[in-house]
């Protein structure tokens, strides 16, 4: 079984939700932590929690949609700890909104945080891990929305399908070179976090308050939908434990909501049996 004591975790989105509880669980297991998030005041609270629990940590306030910010965070972590053993690409946002209504800047924002931030971190950290003698792990947080599709949030599905696909493809490439890195992709259903507060983390470069879309009924309905599904999700309590058990058991797909498994099978059956998306299948689900 893997032992994470004294190993270094590099985790994005550590200020709230999954990132916060996973960082705290890492501290309990004796890990050293590099905590990255755009929300500095909330990140300070996570930093205090983990250091109060006895962990050695650094906190790095950074916007991970920017490659140079991710590079600088990796450099700071290497200067402090000299190694990275567990990369958790977790920072993310959710943007409801139909294809023909969601502004292009919102598409760019979600793809940069949910996909490109994971790319930036892996591009820098995989070569570091390959040089290390010990085994390492990379966990990309995707979503059940990366395995099945639903109405109302095509940008979220696009980003999460991308995260699943690039994690699978990277796993093949690492296996081909017999690398000492285990890949994992987490695909949770709805969990009670701060995910419906996505607007609080909108970087200036993706902001245009004068765009009437942000006053439209479509936008407000999307916000209500996100709040409804997240606040009615599962409690977060068991998530960090599930993550570490999956890392220990070296599971690739980390699923947290077995009730959605039939939807995954339905999608695959639909594809191989020449089916097509049928919104009526979603009646009573979404």
Ligand X SMILES: NC(=O)c1ccc[n+]([C@@H]2O[C@H](COP(=O)([O-])OP(=O)(O)OC[C@H]3O[C@@H](n4cnc5c(N)ncnc54)[C@H](O)[C@@H]3O)[C@@H](O)[C@H]2O)c1
E strands present in 101-155: 136-141
Select 16 or 124, whichever has its Cβ closest to ligand X.
Answer: 16
Q: Rounded to whole angstroms, how far apart are CA atoms 55 and 188?
A: 27
- 156 is known as an active-site residue: yes
Note every long-range contact of 58-63, with CB atoms under 8 Å and residues 24 or more positions apart, other chains counting. Answer: 58/33, 58/34, 59/14, 59/35, 60/34, 60/35, 60/36, 61/37, 62/36, 62/37, 62/38, 63/38, 63/203
Handedness of CA 176, 3, 36, 152 (dihedral sign): positive
Beta carbons within 10 angstroms of residue 180's beta carbon: 14
Instruction: Give the three-class secondary structure for 177.
Output: coil
Smallest distance, Å, CB 95 to ligand X?
A: 10
Select 30 or 165, whichever has its Cβ closest to ligand X.
Answer: 165
Smallest distance, Å, CB 8 to ligand X?
A: 19
Select 85 or 140, whichever has its Cβ closest to ligand X.
Answer: 140
Smallest distance, Å, CB 193 to ligand X?
A: 3
CA 192: distance to chain centroid? Answer: 15
Smallest distance, Å, CB 227 to ligand X?
A: 12
Cβ 214 vs Cβ 176: under 8 Å? no
Cβ 196 vs Cβ 230: under 8 Å? yes
Select 8 or 73, whichever has its Cβ closest to ligand X.
Answer: 73
Smallest distance, Å, CB 133 to ligand X?
A: 31
Q: Specify which residues 182 forms β-bridges with.
A: 137
The single residue of 156, 196, 206, 219 carrying the catalytic annotation is 156
Contacts of 125 (CB under 8 A, 6+ apart): 10, 74, 84, 87, 138
> Which positions lie near ligand X, rule CB under 6 A?
12-13, 15-19, 37-39, 63-65, 90-94, 113, 141, 143, 188, 190-191, 193-195, 197, 201, 203, 230, 233
Select 262 or 275, whichever has its Cβ closest to ligand X.
Answer: 262
Active site residues: 156
């Amino acid at each position: 079984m893997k032992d994470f004591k004294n190993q270094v975790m590099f985790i994005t989105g550590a200020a709230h939700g999954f990132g916060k509880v996973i960082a705290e669980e890492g501290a309990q297991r004796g890990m050293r932590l590099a905590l990255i998030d755009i929300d500095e005041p909330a990140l300070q609270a996570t930093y205090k929690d983990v250091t109060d629990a006895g962990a050695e940590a650094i906190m790095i306030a950074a916007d991970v949609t920017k490659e140079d910010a991710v590079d600088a965070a990796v450099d700071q972590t290497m200067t402090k700890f000299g190694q990275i053993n567990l990369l958790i690409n977790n920072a993310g946002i959710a943007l409801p909104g139909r294809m023909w209504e969601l502004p292009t800047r919102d598409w760019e924002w979600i793809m940069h945080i949910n996909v490109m931030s994971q790319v930036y971190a892996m591009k820098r950290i995989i070569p570091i891990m390959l040089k290390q003698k010990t085994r390492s792990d990379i966990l990309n947080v995707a979503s059940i929305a990366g395995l099945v599709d639903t109405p109302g949030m095509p940008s979220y599905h696009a980003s999460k399908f991308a995260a699943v696909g690039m994690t699978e493809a990277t796993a093949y490439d690492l296996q081909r070179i017999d690398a000492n890195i285990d890949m994992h992709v987490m695909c949770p259903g709805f969990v009670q976090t701060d995910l419906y507060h996505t607007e609080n983390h909108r970087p200036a470069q993706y902001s245009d308050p004068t765009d009437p879309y942000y006053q439209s009924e479509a936008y407000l309905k999307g916000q209500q939908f996100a709040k409804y599904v997240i606040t009615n999700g599962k409690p977060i309590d068991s998530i960090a434990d599930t993550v570490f058990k999956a890392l220990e058991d070296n599971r690739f797909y980390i699923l947290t909501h077995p009730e959605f498994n039939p939807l995954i099978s339905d999608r695959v059956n639909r594809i191989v049996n020449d089916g097509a998306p049928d919104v009526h299948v979603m009646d009573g689900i979404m």
